[in-house]
A and B are shown apart, each in its own frame.
Chain A
Amino acid sequence: MSAALLGIGIYGLSVKRNAIRILFSVELIVNAANLNFIAFARYMNPPHVSGQVIVFYSIAAAAMEAAVGLALILVAFRLNSSIDVRKLNKLKG
C-alpha cells in the first residue's frame, strides 16, 4: 500500500509539468513514508511510540514545506505568469 502510494508520487513527480501537481506528488511521497513509520512502530514488539513522534515531526515539516512551496509557486507565477516548470528556465528574473 505504501509502496503503491510512493509509486504514484514518484510518477507524478517525474511526469507532471504543473508545479502545483508536483507539490501534490511530494505530499503523497511524504505520506507514504509516514504510513510506513506508523505501521512499523505498531508492528514492533513491543510497540513503541517513537514512530508516532517521528511522524509528528514529519507532518509539521511537510506543512512548512507546503507553505513555502506554495509561496514559491506564487512568486514564480508573478514573475513568469506561468506555473509550468518547463517554462521556469530563467535564472535571472
Chain B
Amino acid sequence: MDLSVPPDITFVVLTTITLLAAILALQAKELIYGAISLGISFIGIAGFFVSLDAPYLGMLQIAVYVGAVVVLILFTIMLVRREEADKEEAGEGGEGAAGLWIAGLLAVSIAGVAALAGPNLPISPPATNLPISQLGPVLTGTYPVPLIILALLLSGALLGALVLAKIDR
C-alpha cells in the first residue's frame, strides 16, 4: 500500500478498532474480557470485508466467529476457569522480549516487501464491483469437491470434538 495516498477514514477507524482489540485480547488480565475483545476484533475484520466488497463474507464472519467461536470460547472459559485467571501472567519475562522481536521482525519484513512492491501495486481497486450472486455458482460450480470435503470434515470435527469432550465421563 502506498503511504503517500491519504487513507480514507473507514480504513483508519477499522484498523484502529481491530488492532487495539486484538492487542487487548492477548493482554487483558481477565480471560473473559480477552474473549470479548477478540470478538470486537473479529467484528472489525468483518467491517473490512464489507468495505472490500464482500458483504456475504462479512456476515459469515460475524455469524461464525462472533456468534459461534467467541461463544464457544466463553463457555470453555466458564468451564475451565477456577483459579486460572489470576496466575497466568506470571513468568513471561525473557520470552516476552523474544516474542516481540520475532513478531516485530516479521511485521517489518512484510511491510518492507510491500513497500518494495509499492509502485507496482494498484492504488485503488478496479471500478467494477463483485456481485454477490457470483459467489454461489463459483462455489458450487467451479469448486464443488472442496465443498463436499469441507462438509465431511466439518461433521468429522464436530463428532471428534464431542467424543473428546465426553470421554471418561
Contacts and interface: CB of A to CB of B under 8 A. Distances in A.
Contacts, number: 212
A91 interface: no
A59 B72 contact: no
B15 A1 contact: yes
Contact of A18 (B31, B48, B52): B31
Given A15-B95, A35-B48, A74 B79 contact: yes
Given A3-B110, A42-B130, A55-B57, A68 B18 contact: no
Given A17-B88, A34-B45, A11 B110 contact: no
B103 A74 contact: no
Interface residues on A, range: 35 or more
Interface residues of B, number: 79
Contacts of A63: 64-65, 68-69, 154
Interface of A: 1, 3-12, 14-18, 20-21, 23-25, 27-28, 31, 34-35, 38-39, 41-50, 52-53, 55-57, 59-68, 70-75, 77-78, 82-84
13 contacts: A3-B110, A8-B19, A24-B73, A28-B38, A31-B41, A35-B48, A43-B122, A45-B126, A53-B138, A55-B57, A72-B164, A73-B76, A77-B79
